[in-house]
Structure 1
Amino acid sequence: MSGRWYGPGVVAVVVLATAGACGTPSERRDGVTAQLTRFERALDAGQRQRLCAALAPSTREELEQSAKRRCAQAIGEQSLPAAGAVRRVDVYGEQARVVLDHDTVFLAHFPTGWKVTAAGCRPRPQRPYQCEIKAG
């Protein structure tokens, strides 16, 4: 089925998309892209604290619980790919998916801005994405 994707919080995407979001579609897309750029720069520079700050609270919590380490240590142990260029940005209300050359990243909008809910995600036909970092 072309065009269908499954990712973290897909039910929330449907619910939140109908609830609306602040800003125009262009402003929301720009916010997503800006946050993704900060996340990728922190990843490239090995800035673990900035990577952790970019994560959604539940994603950070899951990472720490799974690794039994603080986020800054745990995130350095993840196999996040060098993402490459942005191929597509989809914003659905308060949720977003960014497809890159070598990664797919999911984000959600919080009062403090866009946060990464899942990263290091690979699509799987007819199944949810497989992600290195995600909420539980």
Structure 2
Amino acid sequence: MPAALLLLLSGCAPAAERGEAAADVAVRLLTAVQSQDGAAACATLAPETLAQVEEAAGQSCDRAILDEDLPSAGAVTGTDVYGQWAQVRLTGDTMFLAVFPGGWRVVAAGCTPRGDRPYDCVVQGG
């Protein structure tokens, strides 16, 4: 196998693994909400996102996140990783994640595209 091809193939593995890890967190959030497990759902959120959920609802995240209009967990249809950021597309949802010391965390969820304008997200950080 030519060295350039081998280098190209080996360079893709870390990005693919990072994308899978981000997708796992995204699915974990929606599955937790669907199962009414607010604590598990909040554990997937970035700190600012968790704080925003609590502030907007005036109650703890584990209760507030269950009242958000998030879709059911769907199949992952695509993942793009851009350094410390990731976009995970699922059937019925798009999520944005960032890397934190503990791993990937959801920055915004329940997002729908709006053409040239920023996504409209049900849950997002400040």
Normalised to the residue count of structure 2, the TM-score between the two structures is: 0.84
1:18-97 aligned within 5 A: 24-97=14-87
| Inter-partner Cα distance in structure 1 for 2:16 and 2:24 | 12
Larger-Rg structure:
2
Q: CA RMSD in A?
A: 1.3
Are the equivalent residues in 1 in contact too, given 2:69–2:122 (CA < 8 A)? Answer: yes
Say whether 1:132 aligns with 2:125. Answer: no
TM superposition shift of 1:93: 0.5
Any gaps of 5 or more consecutive residues in structure 2?
1-12
TM superposition shift of 1:55: 0.3
Any gaps of 5 or more consecutive residues in structure 1?
1-22
Deviations 1:31-83 (A, max 9, x none): 11222232232122111000011100000001111111110121111100114
Normalised to the residue count of structure 1, the TM-score between the two structures is: 0.79
Number of equivalent positions: 114
- Greater RCO (CA < 8 Å, at least 6 residues apart): 1
Give the direction of change, closer, same or farther, for the CA distance of 1:29–1:98 in structure 2 (3 Å limit).
same
The runs of at least 4 consecutive aligned structure 1 residues that moved more than 4 Å come to none
